[in-house]
Structure 1
Amino acid sequence: MIQQSAPEIIYSALTLRDEINDISSRLEGVGAVFGSISLPLPRLSPSELGFIRVVSWLYVHYFESGKLGTEFLTELVGEYSVNMVELSKSHRSLVQRLRTYCQHNLDPSQSHSKEIRIACEQWFNQNCGTRVPRSDEHWETILRVIILDACAYLGCLRDILRCIETDAEASQIINQWTLRISRFHAPHEFDELITEVAADFGREGIDPMRLRKRYYDRWRKEFEVKTDNCDFHVEARKLIEHVLLSEQQEVLPITGKDIMEKFSIAPGPRIKEILLEARQIYNTQPCNKEALLEIISQNLFNKTED
C-alpha cells in the first residue's frame, strides 16, 4: 500500500472541511462551521516550517473561524461516536499547546508553561522518537502525523453532522446549536467595551486584548446561559467592571514621579503620604490621572489654607 504524502493528506483535510461546511450550511439557522480565514493553505516544505504553518492553520480553524461549531460538535462525539471521544479532545488540546510551544516564549518557572512543554515533547517522542526534533526526517514524520490526526478529527465532525441529519431528535439538537450561535459574541465586541469601561474608570492604559484573552472564555460561557433578550452591552459591561474593580483596583493612574513633577516636591516621606491619600481618593472616586492630581492639589491647598 502506497503511503500518502503530506500534501495529499492536507488536501484530504481541505475536502473534509468543505464537506462539513456543505452539510452544516443546509441545517436551518446554523450556517458554515468554518468561516473564511486569511491564512493561505500552508506550504509544507521544508518540513519544520511546514509543521509550524500547519499548526497555525489548524489553530485558526479550531479556535477562531470554526470555534463555535467545532466546540459544539465535539461535545456530541460521545453520543454518536464513542471511540473518537479521546482523539477529538486530545487533538484540539494538542493543537492549542503546539501553537503556544512553537510561537510563544515558555517560562520554565511557570507551571502552565512547563505543562505545555512536557505535553508537546512527549508527543514528539511518541511520534518521531525524540523529544527534541532536529532532522528533516523528524519534522517530516510529525508533520504527517498531525495532518493525519486532523483528518481523523474532521472526519469525526463530518460523521457527527451526518448522524444529526438522520437523528429523530435533530430539531432539538439544531435548536441548541442555533441558540448558542445567537448568544455568541465575538472577541472584538468585548475589546470595544473594555476600552469604554477603562476610559470611564480613568484606566486608559489597559490593553483591552490582553484583558479579554484572560477572561473571554469565562465571559462567553456566562452568555450561553442567559436569556435571549438580555442586553449584551449592559451585561458585558457588568462583567468587565467586576474584573476591573476586583482585580485591578490596586493600580493607581499616578506615580510618585507624577507627584514630584506636579507639585515640585523633593523625594522623601511626603511622597508616600500623598500616594496613600491618593489611594483613599481613588478607592472611593475612580478617575483618570489628571482628575486625581487635581483633587490632590485641592486637598493640599485646603490643608495649607487651614
Structure 2
Amino acid sequence: MTTAQPTPPAAPEVAWNRISRIHRNLDRLARHLLKRPAGADVSLPPPDFTHPQTAFYFATIWMRAWYSEAWAASSRWLYEQAAALGHTPPEKDFADTMRRLRAFLVHHMDASVSEGEETERVCNEWFERACGSVVPQSAFEWHHCLARLLEQNEAYAHFMLAIAKSVERSPEKSTLVLQWRAALERQDYPRYRQSLQEAAGDLGLQRLNEQKLDSIHSRYRVRWAKALEKLGHDADFDREIRLRAEWALLADTSGALIVSASDVMEALELSPGPQVAHALRLAQILREFHPDDSAEQLLRRLAGQWVAARQ
C-alpha cells in the first residue's frame, strides 16, 4: 500500500503576483502620504519559477533586498509603529529569519562561531517546518519551501500595508507622516552623495573625480545616518547633511602634516592632552596657507599663531 503524497502547493507565480500587487499598493499609498518615494525598486530581476530550488534562492535574496535595502527605512519605521497603531506582526522574528536564510544560502556558515551556529539552527528549523526535512532535495520539497517563503512574505507585506493604512486614518496623521518622512531623510544615501558633489564644488575641490567622491560617500554614509537618527523629525536635514559632507571633504582632502604631536608639544611646551590636538589642527590650517614651509618654519609660524590665538 502506497502512502498518498501531500498536495503540491499552488503555483508560486500567483503568490508572487499577489505580493507584487501589495507592494505596489503600499508604494502608491506612501507616495500619496509623503509626497515623495518611500523606497526604491529592487534592482534584481524577479525569480524564474521554472526550477523550485533556484526560485527559492532568488526569491529569498530578492525579498531580503526589498526589506533591508530598497525599503529599509520605511519598513523599519512602519514596524516600529505597529504596536501603537494596533497591529501585531504575523511572525515575530520574520525579519531576522529572512536575514539568516539569505546568509545561509549565500555565505559559508561556520558552526564553531556562535552567530553561524544560531543561523544554522534557525534555518534548519525553518526548512523542517516548511518541507519536513532539514535538507530539502527533491523538487517536491523545494516547492514546499518556496510556497512557505512566499506565504510568509505575503503575510508580512499585508502587515506593512495595514500599518500604512492606519497612518492614513490616524488622528495623528500629520505628525506620523512627518516622522516617516524624517526617517527616510536620515537614510537618504543618494542625497548624501548629491550633497557631497555640491559641497565639493563650493569648496573648490572640482579635482575630485566621481570615484573619489564615491569612496568618501561609502566611508561616511553609515556614520552620518547614525548621527542623523539622533535628530528630531523637524530638523533641517539638508543643512545637517551638508555640514557633514563639508567636514568629510575637508578631513579627506587635507594633506599629511610634516610635524608630529611630539614636535608640537616640544615647540609649544605642551603636555599631552586636547591642546595638542588643537595645535595640530592649527598647524594643518597654516600648512594649507604656506605649503612650502619646512617643518621648522611651520613650527615657528605655529608658535606665533598659538600665542595670538590664546590672547
TM-score by length of 1: 0.64
Deviations 1:128-177 (A, max 9, x none): 12212122122111100110111101111111111111111111100111
Aligned residue for 1:105, secondary structure, equals coil
Q: How do 1:238-257 and structure 2 match up within 5 A?
A: none
Counterpart of 1:113 in structure 2 is 116
Partners of 1:61 and 1:150 in 2: how far apart? 11
Counterpart of 2:262 in structure 1 is none
- Deviates further, 157-166 or 168-177: 157-166
Residues 181, 126 of structure 1: alpha-carbon distance in 2 compared, 3 angstrom cutoff:
same
Q: How do 1:285-300 and structure 2 match up within 5 A?
A: none
Q: How do 1:24-173 and structure 2 match up within 5 A?
A: 24-29=30-35, 31-84=36-89, 87=91, 89-173=92-176
Aligned residue identity for 2:70: S
Partners of 1:233 and 1:32 in 2: how far apart? 21
Partners of 1:78 and 1:64 in 2: how far apart? 23
Aligned residue identity for 2:133: T
Deviations 1:70-119 (A, max 9, x none): 111111121234432x62x5222211111111011222332222221111
On the 8 A contact 2:167/2:176 being kept in 1, the answer is: yes
Counterpart of 1:179 in structure 2 is 182
Partners of 1:98 and 1:188 in 2: how far apart? 31
On the 8 A contact 1:187/1:216 being kept in 2, the answer is: no
Partners of 1:218 and 1:142 in 2: how far apart? 38
On the 8 A contact 2:8/2:143 being kept in 1, the answer is: no
Residues 25, 185 of structure 1: alpha-carbon distance in 2 compared, 3 angstrom cutoff:
closer
Partners of 1:11 and 1:221 in 2: how far apart? 36
On the 8 A contact 1:17/1:34 being kept in 2, the answer is: no
Q: How do 1:197-216 and structure 2 match up within 5 A?
A: none
Question: Among 7, 11, 22, which residue is 1:5 paired with?
Answer: 11
Deviations 1:30-82 (A, max 9, x none): x3333122212211221111100100110111111111111111111212344
On the 8 A contact 2:9/2:147 being kept in 1, the answer is: no
Deviations 1:1-57 (A, max 9, x none): 99632111111001100010111111133x333312221221122111110010011
On the 8 A contact 2:41/2:70 being kept in 1, the answer is: yes
Aligned residue identity for 1:136: A
- State the 1:189 CA deviation: 4.9
Counterpart of 2:228 in structure 1 is 223
Residues 185, 18 of structure 1: alpha-carbon distance in 2 compared, 3 angstrom cutoff:
closer
Question: Among 17, 22, 34, which residue is 1:16 paired with?
Answer: 22
On the 8 A contact 2:10/2:147 being kept in 1, the answer is: no
Partners of 1:188 and 1:176 in 2: how far apart? 18
Aligned residue for 1:98, secondary structure, equals helix
Partners of 1:40 and 1:140 in 2: how far apart? 20
On the 8 A contact 2:81/2:163 being kept in 1, the answer is: yes
Counterpart of 2:291 in structure 1 is none
Aligned residue identity for 1:179: A
On the 8 A contact 1:55/1:99 being kept in 2, the answer is: yes
Partners of 2:21 and 2:227 in 1: how far apart? 35
Partners of 1:157 and 1:18 in 2: how far apart? 12
Give the % identical residues.
22
Corresponding pairs, count: 230
- State the 1:122 CA deviation: 1.3
On the 8 A contact 2:127/2:133 being kept in 1, the answer is: yes
Partners of 1:216 and 1:110 in 2: how far apart? 29
